[in-house]
Structure 1
Amino acid sequence: MKIATYNVNGVNGRLDVLLRWLRDASPDIACLQELKAPDAKFPVKEIESAGYGAIWHGQKSWNGVAILARGREPILTRKGLPGDPDIHSRYIEAAVEGMVIGCLYLPNGNPSPGPKYDYKLEWFKRLTMHAADMLKLGVPVVLAGDYNVIPTELDVYKPERWVDDALFRVEVRDAYRKLIRQGWTDALRELNPDERIYTFWDYFRNAYGRDAGLRLDHLLLSPSVAKRLQSAGVDRHVRGWEHTSDHAPVWIELTEN
Protein backbone atom coordinates (compact mmCIF):
# COMPACT_ATOMS: atom_id res chain seq x y z
CA MET A 1 0.00 0.00 0.00
CA LYS A 2 1.28 3.45 -0.95
CA ILE A 3 0.35 6.50 1.13
CA ALA A 4 1.45 10.00 0.16
CA THR A 5 1.21 13.58 1.35
CA TYR A 6 1.40 16.60 -0.94
CA ASN A 7 1.03 20.32 -0.29
CA VAL A 8 -0.45 21.23 -3.67
CA ASN A 9 -0.40 25.01 -3.04
CA GLY A 10 -3.69 25.62 -4.84
CA VAL A 11 -5.70 22.59 -5.95
CA ASN A 12 -7.49 24.29 -8.83
CA GLY A 13 -4.62 26.40 -10.09
CA ARG A 14 -2.36 23.34 -10.16
CA LEU A 15 -4.96 20.68 -10.94
CA ASP A 16 -3.12 19.48 -14.05
CA VAL A 17 0.00 18.89 -11.97
CA LEU A 18 -1.96 17.02 -9.30
CA LEU A 19 -3.72 14.78 -11.84
CA ARG A 20 -0.46 14.07 -13.64
CA TRP A 21 1.19 13.07 -10.36
CA LEU A 22 -1.77 10.87 -9.36
CA ARG A 23 -1.60 9.13 -12.71
CA ASP A 24 2.17 8.62 -12.55
CA ALA A 25 2.59 7.76 -8.86
CA SER A 26 -0.72 5.94 -8.27
CA PRO A 27 -0.85 6.32 -4.48
CA ASP A 28 -3.56 4.30 -2.77
CA ILE A 29 -4.12 7.19 -0.34
CA ALA A 30 -3.12 10.82 -0.86
CA CYS A 31 -3.32 13.60 1.72
CA LEU A 32 -3.43 17.11 0.26
CA GLN A 33 -2.81 20.44 1.94
CA GLU A 34 -3.18 24.13 1.12
CA LEU A 35 -6.15 23.62 -1.21
CA LYS A 36 -6.87 27.37 -1.37
CA ALA A 37 -10.45 26.59 -2.34
CA PRO A 38 -13.81 26.64 -0.52
CA ASP A 39 -15.71 23.36 -0.25
CA ALA A 40 -17.94 24.17 -3.23
CA LYS A 41 -14.91 24.75 -5.48
CA PHE A 42 -13.10 21.50 -4.76
CA PRO A 43 -12.59 19.69 -8.12
CA VAL A 44 -14.44 16.56 -7.10
CA LYS A 45 -15.46 15.54 -10.65
CA GLU A 46 -11.88 15.68 -11.91
CA ILE A 47 -10.60 13.76 -8.89
CA GLU A 48 -13.27 11.10 -9.36
CA SER A 49 -12.42 10.85 -13.06
CA ALA A 50 -8.85 10.07 -12.00
CA GLY A 51 -10.20 7.10 -10.02
CA TYR A 52 -10.25 8.56 -6.50
CA GLY A 53 -12.88 9.09 -3.89
CA ALA A 54 -12.34 12.15 -1.73
CA ILE A 55 -13.27 14.02 1.42
CA TRP A 56 -12.17 17.61 1.90
CA HIS A 57 -12.30 20.57 4.23
CA GLY A 58 -11.79 23.75 2.25
CA GLN A 59 -11.39 27.44 2.85
CA LYS A 60 -11.87 30.41 0.55
CA SER A 61 -8.36 31.81 0.72
CA TRP A 62 -5.42 29.76 2.03
CA ASN A 63 -5.37 26.49 3.97
CA GLY A 64 -7.67 23.54 3.22
CA VAL A 65 -7.02 19.78 3.47
CA ALA A 66 -8.27 16.67 1.67
CA ILE A 67 -7.87 12.89 1.71
CA LEU A 68 -8.10 10.89 -1.52
CA ALA A 69 -8.43 7.10 -1.77
CA ARG A 70 -8.02 5.17 -5.00
CA GLY A 71 -11.13 3.23 -5.94
CA ARG A 72 -13.07 3.96 -2.77
CA GLU A 73 -14.57 6.69 -0.59
CA PRO A 74 -12.69 7.60 2.59
CA ILE A 75 -15.00 7.49 5.62
CA LEU A 76 -14.94 10.87 7.36
CA THR A 77 -14.27 10.57 11.10
CA ARG A 78 -13.32 14.13 12.05
CA LYS A 79 -13.00 17.68 10.75
CA GLY A 80 -10.79 19.81 12.96
CA LEU A 81 -8.93 18.94 16.14
CA PRO A 82 -10.69 18.64 19.51
CA GLY A 83 -10.94 22.04 21.14
CA ASP A 84 -10.04 23.88 17.94
CA PRO A 85 -12.63 26.34 16.55
CA ASP A 86 -11.30 25.16 13.17
CA ILE A 87 -11.96 28.31 11.20
CA HIS A 88 -8.82 27.64 9.18
CA SER A 89 -9.52 24.16 7.76
CA ARG A 90 -6.28 22.56 8.88
CA TYR A 91 -7.21 19.00 9.87
CA ILE A 92 -9.33 16.22 8.44
CA GLU A 93 -9.44 12.56 9.40
CA ALA A 94 -10.79 9.44 7.75
CA ALA A 95 -10.96 5.66 8.00
CA VAL A 96 -9.39 4.04 4.94
CA GLU A 97 -8.22 0.45 4.42
CA GLY A 98 -8.51 -0.41 8.10
CA MET A 99 -6.45 2.60 9.20
CA VAL A 100 -7.11 6.08 10.51
CA ILE A 101 -5.56 8.71 8.26
CA GLY A 102 -5.09 12.20 9.66
CA CYS A 103 -4.26 14.92 7.13
CA LEU A 104 -2.93 18.13 8.65
CA TYR A 105 -1.60 21.53 7.69
CA LEU A 106 0.15 23.00 10.70
CA PRO A 107 0.29 26.83 10.87
CA ASN A 108 3.40 28.51 9.48
CA GLY A 109 3.77 30.80 12.50
CA ASN A 110 5.72 33.67 10.96
CA PRO A 111 6.54 36.33 11.91
CA SER A 112 7.87 34.99 15.18
CA PRO A 113 7.57 35.84 17.95
CA GLY A 114 4.04 37.17 17.64
CA PRO A 115 0.36 36.13 17.59
CA LYS A 116 0.79 33.84 14.58
CA TYR A 117 3.62 32.03 16.31
CA ASP A 118 1.59 31.68 19.51
CA TYR A 119 -1.28 30.23 17.45
CA LYS A 120 1.10 27.72 15.88
CA LEU A 121 2.30 26.47 19.27
CA GLU A 122 -1.27 26.25 20.59
CA TRP A 123 -2.40 24.30 17.52
CA PHE A 124 0.57 21.98 17.95
CA LYS A 125 -0.51 21.29 21.55
CA ARG A 126 -3.98 20.28 20.35
CA LEU A 127 -2.47 17.99 17.74
CA THR A 128 -0.20 16.38 20.34
CA MET A 129 -3.11 15.76 22.70
CA HIS A 130 -5.24 14.23 19.95
CA ALA A 131 -2.33 12.08 18.78
CA ALA A 132 -1.87 10.73 22.32
CA ASP A 133 -5.56 9.84 22.53
CA MET A 134 -5.37 7.92 19.25
CA LEU A 135 -2.36 5.93 20.46
CA LYS A 136 -4.29 4.97 23.59
CA LEU A 137 -7.01 3.47 21.39
CA GLY A 138 -4.42 1.20 19.77
CA VAL A 139 -5.75 1.66 16.24
CA PRO A 140 -3.36 1.93 13.25
CA VAL A 141 -2.87 5.61 12.45
CA VAL A 142 -0.95 7.70 9.91
CA LEU A 143 -0.60 11.43 10.57
CA ALA A 144 0.45 12.94 7.25
CA GLY A 145 0.88 16.47 6.08
CA ASP A 146 2.77 19.73 5.97
CA TYR A 147 3.93 20.19 9.56
CA ASN A 148 5.76 23.45 8.82
CA VAL A 149 8.50 22.10 11.08
CA ILE A 150 12.17 21.53 10.24
CA PRO A 151 12.93 18.79 12.80
CA THR A 152 16.76 18.91 12.83
CA GLU A 153 19.74 20.61 11.21
CA LEU A 154 19.94 17.64 8.85
CA ASP A 155 16.58 18.72 7.42
CA VAL A 156 17.60 22.17 6.16
CA TYR A 157 20.12 23.68 3.80
CA LYS A 158 22.30 26.12 5.78
CA PRO A 159 20.48 25.86 9.13
CA GLU A 160 22.15 29.01 10.47
CA ARG A 161 19.90 31.06 8.19
CA TRP A 162 16.74 29.68 9.79
CA VAL A 163 17.38 29.92 13.54
CA ASP A 164 14.83 32.73 14.05
CA ASP A 165 12.23 31.37 11.64
CA ALA A 166 9.02 29.84 13.04
CA LEU A 167 9.76 26.65 11.10
CA PHE A 168 13.00 26.06 13.00
CA ARG A 169 12.70 27.79 16.35
CA VAL A 170 13.65 25.74 19.39
CA GLU A 171 10.10 25.63 20.76
CA VAL A 172 8.72 24.21 17.52
CA ARG A 173 11.39 21.53 17.21
CA ASP A 174 10.82 20.62 20.86
CA ALA A 175 7.09 20.27 20.17
CA TYR A 176 7.83 17.95 17.25
CA ARG A 177 10.16 15.81 19.41
CA LYS A 178 7.52 15.64 22.11
CA LEU A 179 5.04 14.33 19.56
CA ILE A 180 7.49 11.72 18.25
CA ARG A 181 8.30 10.53 21.78
CA GLN A 182 4.70 9.46 22.29
CA GLY A 183 5.57 6.48 20.09
CA TRP A 184 5.29 7.79 16.54
CA THR A 185 7.74 6.92 13.76
CA ASP A 186 8.91 9.60 11.33
CA ALA A 187 8.81 7.33 8.29
CA LEU A 188 11.16 9.17 5.94
CA ARG A 189 13.81 9.74 8.60
CA GLU A 190 13.46 6.19 9.95
CA LEU A 191 14.60 4.73 6.64
CA ASN A 192 17.09 7.50 5.84
CA PRO A 193 18.66 8.34 9.21
CA ASP A 194 21.71 10.24 7.93
CA GLU A 195 20.64 11.57 4.54
CA ARG A 196 19.80 15.16 3.65
CA ILE A 197 16.33 14.86 2.14
CA TYR A 198 14.19 17.88 1.36
CA THR A 199 10.50 18.23 0.50
CA PHE A 200 10.24 22.00 -0.09
CA TRP A 201 12.20 24.45 -2.22
CA ASP A 202 11.38 28.15 -2.36
CA TYR A 203 10.46 29.72 -5.70
CA PHE A 204 13.18 32.34 -5.30
CA ARG A 205 16.97 32.34 -5.79
CA ASN A 206 16.95 29.10 -7.79
CA ALA A 207 16.45 27.15 -4.57
CA TYR A 208 15.39 23.98 -6.39
CA GLY A 209 18.33 24.10 -8.79
CA ARG A 210 20.77 24.58 -5.89
CA ASP A 211 18.95 22.00 -3.76
CA ALA A 212 18.58 24.64 -1.05
CA GLY A 213 15.61 22.92 0.52
CA LEU A 214 13.80 22.08 3.74
CA ARG A 215 12.07 18.96 5.02
CA LEU A 216 8.64 20.13 6.14
CA ASP A 217 6.32 17.32 5.02
CA HIS A 218 6.16 14.27 7.29
CA LEU A 219 4.31 10.99 7.68
CA LEU A 220 4.16 9.84 11.29
CA LEU A 221 3.17 6.23 11.90
CA SER A 222 1.67 4.59 14.97
CA PRO A 223 3.53 1.46 16.18
CA SER A 224 1.34 -1.06 14.35
CA VAL A 225 1.76 0.82 11.06
CA ALA A 226 5.49 1.36 11.58
CA LYS A 227 5.95 -2.42 11.66
CA ARG A 228 4.66 -2.50 8.07
CA LEU A 229 6.96 0.26 6.75
CA GLN A 230 8.77 -1.01 3.70
CA SER A 231 10.07 2.07 1.85
CA ALA A 232 9.73 5.85 1.77
CA GLY A 233 10.77 8.65 -0.54
CA VAL A 234 10.17 12.04 -2.10
CA ASP A 235 8.96 12.57 -5.67
CA ARG A 236 11.51 15.34 -6.03
CA HIS A 237 11.13 15.55 -9.81
CA VAL A 238 7.56 16.83 -9.43
CA ARG A 239 8.97 20.05 -7.97
CA GLY A 240 10.70 20.58 -11.31
CA TRP A 241 7.50 20.43 -13.38
CA GLU A 242 6.12 23.60 -14.91
CA HIS A 243 3.73 25.63 -12.70
CA THR A 244 4.13 23.18 -9.83
CA SER A 245 3.91 23.57 -6.06
CA ASP A 246 6.93 24.61 -3.99
CA HIS A 247 6.53 21.28 -2.17
CA ALA A 248 7.14 17.80 -3.57
CA PRO A 249 5.02 14.73 -2.75
CA VAL A 250 6.30 12.45 0.02
CA TRP A 251 5.28 8.79 0.11
CA ILE A 252 5.61 5.53 2.01
CA GLU A 253 5.04 1.92 1.02
CA LEU A 254 3.53 -0.47 3.57
CA THR A 255 3.45 -4.24 3.46
CA GLU A 256 -0.02 -5.72 3.35
CA ASN A 257 -1.62 -6.21 6.73
Structure 2
Amino acid sequence: MKIATFNINGVRARIIALLDWLKEAKPDVVLLQEIKTVDDGFPRLEVEELGYAIETHGQKGFNGVAILSRLPIEDITRGLPGYDTDEQARWIEATVIGETAVRVCGLYLPNGNPAPGPKYDYKLAWMERLRARASALLAEETCAVLAGDYNVIPSTKDCWDPRIWEKDALFLPPTRAAYQRILNLGFTDALRATDAHPGIYTFWDYQAGAWPKNHGIRIDHLLLTPAAADLLTACGVDSHVRGREKPSDHVPVWIDLAA
Protein backbone atom coordinates (compact mmCIF):
# COMPACT_ATOMS: atom_id res chain seq x y z
CA MET A 1 0.00 0.00 0.00
CA LYS A 2 1.51 3.29 -1.11
CA ILE A 3 0.42 6.17 1.13
CA ALA A 4 1.40 9.76 0.42
CA THR A 5 0.97 13.16 2.01
CA PHE A 6 0.85 16.32 -0.10
CA ASN A 7 0.13 19.91 0.92
CA ILE A 8 -1.37 21.02 -2.38
CA ASN A 9 -1.71 24.73 -1.44
CA GLY A 10 -5.08 25.17 -3.13
CA VAL A 11 -6.48 22.15 -4.95
CA ARG A 12 -8.41 24.12 -7.55
CA ALA A 13 -5.40 26.29 -8.37
CA ARG A 14 -3.08 23.25 -8.53
CA ILE A 15 -5.38 20.60 -10.00
CA ILE A 16 -3.15 20.02 -13.04
CA ALA A 17 -0.12 19.56 -10.80
CA LEU A 18 -2.07 17.14 -8.63
CA LEU A 19 -3.40 15.10 -11.55
CA ASP A 20 0.00 14.89 -13.23
CA TRP A 21 1.58 13.60 -10.03
CA LEU A 22 -1.24 11.10 -9.37
CA LYS A 23 -0.83 9.64 -12.86
CA GLU A 24 2.93 9.40 -12.41
CA ALA A 25 3.24 8.20 -8.80
CA LYS A 26 0.07 6.08 -8.61
CA PRO A 27 -0.35 6.20 -4.83
CA ASP A 28 -3.08 4.06 -3.32
CA VAL A 29 -3.93 6.66 -0.67
CA VAL A 30 -3.22 10.40 -0.60
CA LEU A 31 -3.66 12.72 2.35
CA LEU A 32 -4.03 16.29 1.10
CA GLN A 33 -3.66 19.49 3.10
CA GLU A 34 -4.58 23.09 2.36
CA ILE A 35 -7.22 22.21 -0.18
CA LYS A 36 -8.59 25.74 0.53
CA THR A 37 -12.15 24.99 -0.51
CA VAL A 38 -15.46 23.92 0.94
CA ASP A 39 -16.40 20.30 0.36
CA ASP A 40 -18.61 21.05 -2.64
CA GLY A 41 -15.81 23.02 -4.30
CA PHE A 42 -13.38 20.10 -4.55
CA PRO A 43 -12.70 19.16 -8.21
CA ARG A 44 -14.02 15.64 -7.74
CA LEU A 45 -14.69 14.57 -11.31
CA GLU A 46 -11.09 14.93 -12.47
CA VAL A 47 -9.75 12.94 -9.51
CA GLU A 48 -12.49 10.32 -9.57
CA GLU A 49 -11.69 9.61 -13.22
CA LEU A 50 -8.31 8.33 -12.00
CA GLY A 51 -10.06 5.81 -9.75
CA TYR A 52 -10.00 7.63 -6.42
CA ALA A 53 -12.77 7.92 -3.88
CA ILE A 54 -12.65 11.30 -2.14
CA GLU A 55 -13.42 12.33 1.44
CA THR A 56 -13.00 15.97 2.40
CA HIS A 57 -13.08 18.22 5.44
CA GLY A 58 -13.12 21.58 3.75
CA GLN A 59 -13.08 25.24 4.72
CA LYS A 60 -13.70 28.29 2.59
CA GLY A 61 -10.42 29.84 1.44
CA PHE A 62 -8.24 28.37 4.19
CA ASN A 63 -6.96 25.07 5.56
CA GLY A 64 -8.96 22.00 4.52
CA VAL A 65 -7.87 18.38 4.35
CA ALA A 66 -8.85 15.41 2.21
CA ILE A 67 -8.31 11.70 1.68
CA LEU A 68 -8.07 10.18 -1.80
CA SER A 69 -8.16 6.39 -1.97
CA ARG A 70 -8.14 3.72 -4.66
CA LEU A 71 -8.82 1.15 -1.94
CA PRO A 72 -12.03 0.65 0.07
CA ILE A 73 -12.36 3.28 2.78
CA GLU A 74 -14.61 3.31 5.84
CA ASP A 75 -15.22 4.86 9.26
CA ILE A 76 -14.40 8.45 8.26
CA THR A 77 -14.15 11.05 11.01
CA ARG A 78 -13.50 14.77 10.70
CA GLY A 79 -11.96 17.09 13.25
CA LEU A 80 -9.31 16.40 15.88
CA PRO A 81 -10.94 15.36 19.17
CA GLY A 82 -10.68 17.55 22.22
CA TYR A 83 -12.08 20.89 21.04
CA ASP A 84 -15.58 20.57 19.64
CA THR A 85 -15.91 24.27 18.76
CA ASP A 86 -12.72 24.35 16.66
CA GLU A 87 -13.81 25.73 13.28
CA GLN A 88 -10.49 25.16 11.50
CA ALA A 89 -10.55 22.16 9.15
CA ARG A 90 -7.23 20.49 9.93
CA TRP A 91 -7.89 16.79 10.61
CA ILE A 92 -9.48 13.83 8.81
CA GLU A 93 -9.06 10.11 9.43
CA ALA A 94 -10.38 6.86 8.00
CA THR A 95 -9.63 3.17 7.73
CA VAL A 96 -8.27 1.95 4.39
CA ILE A 97 -8.77 -1.72 3.60
CA GLY A 98 -5.87 -3.51 1.93
CA GLU A 99 -4.33 -6.83 2.90
CA THR A 100 -4.13 -5.13 6.29
CA ALA A 101 -6.50 -2.43 7.51
CA VAL A 102 -4.63 0.84 8.04
CA ARG A 103 -5.98 3.84 9.92
CA VAL A 104 -4.82 6.94 8.04
CA CYS A 105 -4.91 10.30 9.78
CA GLY A 106 -4.39 13.39 7.64
CA LEU A 107 -3.40 16.56 9.45
CA TYR A 108 -2.55 20.19 8.79
CA LEU A 109 -0.95 21.41 11.98
CA PRO A 110 -1.20 25.17 12.69
CA ASN A 111 1.70 27.36 11.60
CA GLY A 112 1.77 29.33 14.85
CA ASN A 113 3.37 32.56 13.66
CA PRO A 114 3.79 35.16 14.96
CA ALA A 115 5.24 33.71 18.13
CA PRO A 116 4.69 34.38 20.92
CA GLY A 117 1.01 35.16 20.61
CA PRO A 118 -2.46 33.58 20.36
CA LYS A 119 -1.65 31.77 17.11
CA TYR A 120 1.33 30.08 18.77
CA ASP A 121 -0.75 29.21 21.82
CA TYR A 122 -3.28 27.57 19.47
CA LYS A 123 -0.49 25.61 17.77
CA LEU A 124 0.82 24.17 21.04
CA ALA A 125 -2.69 23.38 22.28
CA TRP A 126 -3.43 21.62 18.97
CA MET A 127 -0.25 19.58 19.34
CA GLU A 128 -1.34 18.49 22.80
CA ARG A 129 -4.66 17.32 21.36
CA LEU A 130 -2.72 15.50 18.64
CA ARG A 131 -0.63 13.77 21.29
CA ALA A 132 -3.81 12.60 23.03
CA ARG A 133 -5.24 11.15 19.81
CA ALA A 134 -1.90 9.54 18.95
CA SER A 135 -1.76 7.98 22.42
CA ALA A 136 -5.26 6.54 21.97
CA LEU A 137 -4.29 4.93 18.67
CA LEU A 138 -1.29 3.32 20.34
CA ALA A 139 -3.41 2.07 23.23
CA GLU A 140 -5.70 0.39 20.69
CA GLU A 141 -2.64 -1.18 19.01
CA THR A 142 -3.89 0.23 15.73
CA CYS A 143 -1.93 0.00 12.49
CA ALA A 144 -1.98 3.75 11.85
CA VAL A 145 -0.21 6.47 9.88
CA LEU A 146 -0.33 10.10 11.02
CA ALA A 147 0.66 12.07 7.95
CA GLY A 148 0.59 15.64 6.79
CA ASP A 149 2.05 19.11 7.06
CA TYR A 150 3.16 19.28 10.69
CA ASN A 151 4.64 22.76 10.39
CA VAL A 152 7.48 21.43 12.56
CA ILE A 153 11.17 21.40 11.67
CA PRO A 154 12.31 18.55 13.93
CA SER A 155 16.06 19.23 14.00
CA THR A 156 18.87 21.36 12.60
CA LYS A 157 19.50 18.86 9.80
CA ASP A 158 15.94 19.43 8.57
CA CYS A 159 16.52 23.01 7.43
CA TRP A 160 19.08 24.63 5.14
CA ASP A 161 20.16 27.23 7.73
CA PRO A 162 18.97 26.86 11.35
CA ARG A 163 19.89 30.48 12.12
CA ILE A 164 17.18 31.67 9.72
CA TRP A 165 14.51 29.71 11.59
CA GLU A 166 15.55 30.01 15.23
CA LYS A 167 12.77 32.51 16.10
CA ASP A 168 10.13 30.94 13.87
CA ALA A 169 7.19 29.02 15.36
CA LEU A 170 8.13 25.99 13.23
CA PHE A 171 11.49 25.67 14.96
CA LEU A 172 11.10 27.12 18.45
CA PRO A 173 12.17 24.77 21.26
CA PRO A 174 8.60 24.30 22.60
CA THR A 175 7.46 23.26 19.12
CA ARG A 176 10.19 20.71 18.67
CA ALA A 177 9.68 19.44 22.23
CA ALA A 178 5.95 18.93 21.61
CA TYR A 179 6.72 17.01 18.42
CA GLN A 180 9.30 14.90 20.24
CA ARG A 181 6.77 14.03 22.94
CA ILE A 182 4.58 12.52 20.23
CA LEU A 183 7.49 10.52 18.82
CA ASN A 184 8.39 9.38 22.32
CA LEU A 185 5.02 7.69 22.67
CA GLY A 186 6.37 5.04 20.30
CA PHE A 187 5.99 6.48 16.81
CA THR A 188 8.45 6.07 13.94
CA ASP A 189 9.35 8.97 11.63
CA ALA A 190 9.21 7.05 8.35
CA LEU A 191 11.70 9.24 6.50
CA ARG A 192 14.29 9.16 9.25
CA ALA A 193 13.84 5.40 9.65
CA THR A 194 14.98 4.98 6.06
CA ASP A 195 17.40 7.90 5.50
CA ALA A 196 19.30 9.77 8.20
CA HIS A 197 21.08 12.19 5.86
CA PRO A 198 20.67 15.96 6.27
CA GLY A 199 19.42 18.14 3.43
CA ILE A 200 16.18 16.28 2.70
CA TYR A 201 13.46 18.89 2.37
CA THR A 202 9.73 18.95 1.61
CA PHE A 203 9.04 22.71 1.40
CA TRP A 204 10.67 25.59 -0.46
CA ASP A 205 9.29 29.12 -0.22
CA TYR A 206 8.16 30.84 -3.42
CA GLN A 207 10.35 33.85 -2.59
CA ALA A 208 14.10 34.57 -2.65
CA GLY A 209 14.87 31.79 -5.11
CA ALA A 210 14.49 29.16 -2.41
CA TRP A 211 13.88 26.26 -4.81
CA PRO A 212 16.84 26.75 -7.20
CA LYS A 213 19.10 27.45 -4.22
CA ASN A 214 17.73 24.41 -2.35
CA HIS A 215 16.91 26.58 0.66
CA GLY A 216 14.32 24.17 2.00
CA ILE A 217 12.92 22.71 5.19
CA ARG A 218 11.41 19.34 6.12
CA ILE A 219 7.98 19.84 7.67
CA ASP A 220 5.85 17.13 6.02
CA HIS A 221 6.04 13.91 8.01
CA LEU A 222 4.57 10.43 8.22
CA LEU A 223 4.58 9.01 11.74
CA LEU A 224 3.86 5.31 12.13
CA THR A 225 2.55 3.27 15.03
CA PRO A 226 4.63 0.13 15.77
CA ALA A 227 2.17 -2.04 13.82
CA ALA A 228 2.58 0.20 10.76
CA ALA A 229 6.34 0.58 11.20
CA ASP A 230 6.69 -3.21 11.05
CA LEU A 231 5.20 -3.06 7.53
CA LEU A 232 7.36 -0.19 6.24
CA THR A 233 9.34 -1.12 3.13
CA ALA A 234 10.23 2.28 1.61
CA CYS A 235 9.86 6.04 2.01
CA GLY A 236 10.59 8.80 -0.46
CA VAL A 237 10.21 12.49 -1.29
CA ASP A 238 9.09 13.47 -4.79
CA SER A 239 11.11 16.68 -4.74
CA HIS A 240 11.15 16.98 -8.55
CA VAL A 241 7.49 18.03 -8.45
CA ARG A 242 8.55 21.39 -7.00
CA GLY A 243 10.28 22.28 -10.27
CA ARG A 244 7.17 21.94 -12.41
CA GLU A 245 4.86 24.65 -13.69
CA LYS A 246 2.65 26.31 -11.05
CA PRO A 247 3.75 23.98 -8.24
CA SER A 248 2.77 23.87 -4.62
CA ASP A 249 5.48 25.09 -2.25
CA HIS A 250 5.39 21.57 -0.72
CA VAL A 251 6.13 18.25 -2.41
CA PRO A 252 4.67 14.77 -1.85
CA VAL A 253 6.21 12.42 0.70
CA TRP A 254 5.25 8.75 0.48
CA ILE A 255 5.69 5.36 2.11
CA ASP A 256 5.18 1.81 0.96
CA LEU A 257 3.66 -0.59 3.47
CA ALA A 258 3.42 -4.35 3.04
CA ALA A 259 -0.30 -4.01 3.74
Which range, TM-score by smaller chain? over 0.9
State the distance in 2 between where 1:75 and 1:66 align.
14
Deviations 1:101-120 (A, max 9, x none): 00000000000000000000
Contact 1:8 1:18 in 2 (8 A): yes
Q: Does structure 1 residue 193 correspond to structure 2 residue 196?
A: yes
Residues in 2 aligned to 1:26 and 1:86: alpha-carbon distance in whole angstroms: 34
- Is 2:175 the partner of 1:172? yes
Opposite residue 226 of structure 1, the aligned amino acid is A
1:52·1:73 contact (CA, 8 Å) conserved in 2? Answer: no
Alignment of 1:1-257 (within 5 A): 1-70=1-70, 72-84=71-83, 85-97=85-97, 98-256=101-259
For residue 195 of structure 1, give the secondary structure of its aligned residue in structure 2: coil
Q: Indicate if the aligned counterparts of 1:107 and 1:123 stay in contact, CA closer than 8 A.
A: yes
1:86 offset after TM fit, Å?
Answer: 3.1
3-state SS of paired residue (1:32): strand
Unpaired segments of 5 or more residues in structure 1?
none
**Structure 2 CA distance for aligned equivalents of residues 250 and 222 of structure 1:** 17
Identity of aligned residues (%): 51
Q: Distance in 2 between matches of 1:195 and 1:51?
A: 36
Structure 2 residue ranges without an equivalent (≥5): none
Q: Report the secondary structure of 2:81's partner residue.
A: coil
TM-score (norm 1): 0.97
Report how far residue 194 of structure 1 moved. 2.8
Q: How much has 1:25 moved relative to structure 2?
A: 0.2
Q: Work out the CA distance in 2 between the residues paired with 1:95 and 1:16.
A: 28
Q: How far apart, CA to CA, are the structure 2 residues paired with 1:86 and 1:22?
A: 31
SS at match of 1:209: helix
- What CA deviation, in whole Å up to 9, does each residue of 1:153-193 have, x standing for no partner? 00001101111100000000000000000000000011112
Deviation above 2 Å: which 4+ runs of structure 1? Answer: none
Q: Distance in 2 between matches of 1:166 and 1:106?
A: 12
Give the secondary-structure state (helix, strand or coil) at the position aligned to 2:95.
Answer: strand
1:42 positional shift: 1.0
Give the Å deviation of 1:73: 4.6
User: Is the Cα contact below 8 Å between 1:156 and 1:215 reproduced in 2?
Assistant: yes
Amino acid at match of 2:138: L
Structure 1 vs Structure 2 CA RMSD: 0.9
Give the counterpart letter for 1:165 in structure 2.
D
SS in 1 for 2:236: strand
Displacement after TM superposition at 1:214 (Å): 0.3
CA–CA distance in 1 between the matches of 2:86 and 2:144?
21
Equivalent AA in structure 2 for residue 237 of structure 1: H
Q: CA deviation at 1:54?
A: 1.1
Query: Aligned to 2:146, what secondary structure does the other structure show?
Result: strand
CA–CA separation in structure 2 for the residues paired with 1:94 and 1:74: 7
Question: Could you tell me whether the CA contact under 8 Å between 1:5 and 1:249 is conserved in 2?
Answer: yes
CA contact (8 A) 1:55 1:76 kept: no
